[in-house]
Amino acid sequence: MRTSRNYFSSIKKGILAVIVLSGSSVFAQAPQPPVVQTVSFRSDTINIVNHGAKGDGHFLNTTAINKAIEQSSLQGGGVVLVPSGLWLTGPIILKSNVNLHLKRDAILFFTDDFDQYKLIAANWEGQPAWRNQSPISGTDLTNIAITGSGVIDGNGDAWRMVKKSKLTDSQWKNLVNSGGVVDKSNQIWYPSEKSLAGSKDKKAGVMTAGTSSSDYEHIKDFLRPNLLVLTNCKKVLLEGVTIQNSPAWNLHPLLCEDLTLRRLLVRNPWYGQNGDGVDIESCKNVLIEDCTFDVGDDGICIKSGRDKSGRERGKPTENVLIRNNVVYHAHGGFVIGSEMSGGAKNIWVQDCSFIGTDIGLRFKTKRGRGGTVENIFIENINMIDIPGEAILFDMYYEAVDPVPMAGERREKVKAEKIPVTEETPQFKNFHIKNVFVNGAEKGIFFRGLPEMNIQDITIEKVTIQAKKGIDIIEASNIKLKDITIFSKETTPVVHIENAQNIVFENLKYQDDATLLFDLYGENSKNIQVIKTDVNKAKTISKIASGLSKSVLKIKK
């Protein structure tokens, strides 16, 4: 692992930081940091076969597997072994001090009989909600693990709705002929009438006073579970296994502490709505390393609750190290938000590759969320074939796919300044270094709020080949140093709108660019360009009427 002591030691002394230890590796900054504690188990092993399990893909093993786990925990813990076989099962409930271990040729395959999954009080996208019981879950546990090299398959196709636009004509016809129902527009397929009914409720399943699970039975099939949900657990290890085909998010640790994800393969079909890889929500002391993600929504995502419920919970995700991971298809490679109302801080992302992710580094929020995201340190990131932005900060997030489909039109955001309240989100103090991108729609994009700019961002030593260059909108105190942006479209290379205190140092760009900078917005001021050959551009700048020419300062 490459360390970054010189780089990170330059960060302000007042920033709270953390050291996370894993073996002999250290990614450090600050005295007396927390450590990600590891699990430890007794060697005692219980084979699920001893409780009557049958690996024939037909026998339902729910009772046998849960009995094995319960017995192991009651005896002080140990290993529960899932041997070779195809193990059909309903929901599995983990217990403290138990390591559920899957052999290489073992498949845990979850039943498509929805009656096996009870409607329970849970959490959906950062809010308390009624959902179907997760295939694997654990609450208030200590010292738990899922290890091995087998496969955990959530049978998600039985649950998920599918958009026609994401399939070929042949795939769509086969899906419709398989059963289920199609909406009136003939654009979305649903696995059942209950699922379709749920789609018509904008807040389906969200808990309201005086309701119970029985009030949601008519839309039960729509309330898809996340595959693996761990709530308020301490000392957790997920290692080696393949986790795939979830009804919704694959992995959802919530309010957990001392969490390690290592050498996982996490998969969902690219058309799988809400098919995130991992969503770390309101967790503390987390290590994610050597994992591979190929999913239908965000790959590695940081969250902390949604709107008022997230702010009232008041638990940020903090002290996180993410390193040596690969993300293939996803809506974002590394993502924070948009449900980040409890905040996020002290997060390091290092030595990761994003291959074909819709967006590379994706930071998203919106008015109403509140919460502060700060002290984020990212370096050594490689990307290829990014359909959207390589680096994106967006405070106008809407719940739509980040890359428009062919023919899709999206209206331009209307900027309006409103008072700052507890519902106003903040992005600040990000440090991004050593990012290399071959192929993106746009290089770097900032879009803050008029009342709350994106602020205090440093990006340095970045090389990007993209169709479009850099947009900086409603941002302040931004430093871009040693940036090389080779964009096909150069009218302009850099667009600036209502931004202040922006510094470009050693900016390199396409030879004979048509226009290097255009500047708009009455609030734009103090744009500095240092150590940059601006004369390679046919036109250096276009400054909107009403702005002083002095807004742009070019220095040798």
Cβ–Cβ contacts within 10 Å for residue 109, how many? 20
Tell me what the pLDDT averaged over the chain comes to.
93
Active-site residue flag, 297: yes
* pLDDT value for 396: 97
Work out the pLDDT band at 33, boundaries 50, 70, 90.
Answer: very low
Question: Is 50 exceeded by the pLDDT of residue 13?
Answer: no
- The tens digit of pLDDT for each residue in 112-148 reads 999 999 999 999 999 999 999 999 999 999 999 999 9
The Cα 67–Cα 61 span in angstroms is 10
Percent of the chain residues topping a pLDDT of 70: 94
Question: Would you place residue 9 in the very low, low, confident or very high pLDDT band (cuts 50, 70, 90)?
Answer: very low
Q: pLDDT band for position 436 (50/70/90)? A: very high
Sequence-separated (6 or more) residues with CB below 8 Å from residue 500: 453, 475, 476, 477, 523, 524, 525, 526
Tokens of 484: 């090389």
- Tens digits of residue pLDDT in 404-413: 877 788 888 8
Catalytic residue of the set 331, 358, 394, 495: 331
| The pLDDT of residue 20 is above 70 | no
Phi and psi at residue 64, in whole multiples of 5°? -60, -45
DSSP string of 152-210, one letter each residue: EE--GGGT--EEGGGS-HHHHHHHHHTS-EE-TTS-EEESSHHHHHHHT-TTTTB--TT
Round to whole Å and give the CA distance between 326 and 240.
15
Catalytic residue among 258, 294, 297, 394: 297
Residue 84 clears pLDDT 80, i.e. is over it: yes
Task: State yes or no: pLDDT of 243 exceeds 60.
Answer: yes
- pLDDT band of residue 531 (cuts 50, 70, 90) is very high
Our answer to whether residue 58 is catalytic in this structure is: no
